Amino acid sequence: MAAIRPYGDATDDGLIQLSFTLPIAESERAKQAALEFAKKMDLGRPQVVHMKAMGPDFTFFILYGASPHSVDPEDLVVVEREFPVLSYQEVNRVLRESLKRQLVVVGACTGTDAHTVGLDAILSMKGFAGDHGLEYFPEMRVVNMGSQVDPADIVETVRHHEADAVLVSQVVTQRDAHIAHLREVRAALAEAGLREGLILVGGGPRFNPEQAAELGYDRIFGRGTKPSEVASYLTFAVTRTLG
């Protein structure tokens, strides 16, 4: 594949739209500053199509320009998804045939985070983005522990339900609290001797899949993950464990 550039309304025109605010009062000088800024971003023929004062000290711009840069997608190193996305029927069939019992999934939000929106999007019957959550799969049994769960309680629940997988969700975070909280859960499970053979999955809008190794998780899911992807991964991971 050849190098590609943004497409506005014609091949290789390189046109992109930007919006941003500069800390300067609205004026002709402000407009020139925005154009100069665009030039420094290598944008050709920059055009300020909208300029508006945001209070006395700031100005908002909408700007178009043509980028001279191009990328060749073939040259990129991309972490491809290591598992196939299965349909609802396939997930149930594979689990039924390989596991011969329900897959037990424990999910929790830990730390001070009370936002269960991500966890519920993946677990609840309703699901997210047109996908039903894991509760909808007859071959899965879901224990949703809700928010602000102590790592020790997760350990206890994993033991009690003989869980196959643990999902840890973190939505609201500051100063990397989400990373610390995920590590605490992994440490607690390891200390209890439960880490081996357990599928440990973390997720939340601030994570990306590349972080799995540094966090000691089997898989990390980021923003926009659908329940079907998680279901497919769990199916993939559990069958891999079974050998």
Residues 6+ apart with CB under 8 A from 217: 182, 186, 200, 201, 202, 211
Q: Does 152 bind other proteins (CB under 8 A)?
A: no
CB-side neighbour CA atoms (13 Å) of 98: 18
- The interface region with other proteins, picked from 71-79, 111-119, 153-161, 187-195 by CB under 8 A, is 111-119
| Inter-CA distances, 226 with 45, 103, 204, 221, Å | 40, 18, 12, 9
Q: Does 16 bind other proteins (CB under 8 A)?
A: no
- The interface region with other proteins, picked from 72-80, 81-89, 106-114, 229-237 by CB under 8 A, is 106-114
**Given candidates 69, 159, 223, 240, which one binds other proteins under the rule CB under 8 A?**
223
Catalytic status, residue 126: yes
Cα separation, 94 vs 100, in Å, equals 9
Give kind and range of the element (H or E) at residue 28.
helix 28-40
C-beta of 94 vs 142, nearer to other proteins: 142
Residue list 170-209, contact with other proteins (CB under 8 A):
172-175, 177, 205
- The site for other proteins (CB under 8 A) is made up of 19-21, 52, 54-56, 58, 60, 112-114, 116-117, 120, 124, 126, 129-130, 146-148, 172-175, 177, 205, 223-224
